[in-house]
Amino acid sequence: MKRYLPVFATLAEPDERSVFRLAAVISLSVSACAGLLFAGTALFGTASFGAAKAGDAAKGKNTFSSNCEVCHNADSAETKVGPGLKGVFKKPNLNNKKKVTDGNVMELIGKGSPLGMPSFEDQLSGQERADVLAYLKTL
């Protein structure tokens, strides 16, 4: 007749192999948690962790003047090359039919539009784009 030891009895005297297995499991768990943290940062950006600063409308006006004004009117809703942006945050939708939200406007500035607006992701920093967003809210 065989005697079966309870599971906890084997834990009382771990052998070298089980210690290494436990260390490997802990190491993988820590690595997985770190991976999830970095994936979350990539998906949601640093703004979700409080690192991004709010936009400065005065700086945004200067950035708009040197980058956006060639195609967009700031003082009217009339089309230049692109749509006039006066009162853009008072409208229900952008020209691409998306709702006017901070996120959609930032995406449009960053990624551009298939309707002809170029991407400014490489030309303007995230802070400069946030400054332009703050300026657009004053129009």
Q: Would you say residue 118 has pLDDT above 90?
A: yes
Over residues 1-10, the pLDDT tens digits come to 555 555 555 5
Over residues 44-64, the pLDDT tens digits come to 444 443 445 789 999 999 999
What are the start-end ranges of the H helices in the chain? 7-12, 16-44, 57-67, 102-111, 126-136
Over residues 81-115, the pLDDT tens digits come to 999 999 999 999 999 999 999 999 999 999 999 88
The torsion of the CA quartet 47, 52, 55, 58, rounded to 10 degrees, works out to: -160
State how far the Cα of 87 lies from the Cα of 93, in Å rounded to an integer.
11
Instruction: Extract the tokens encoding 86.
Output: 């006066």
Q: How far is CA 132 from the centre of its chain?
A: 17
93 bridge partner residues = 99
- Specify the range with the lowest mean pLDDT, choosing from 30-39, 83-92, 114-123: 30-39
pTM: 0.63
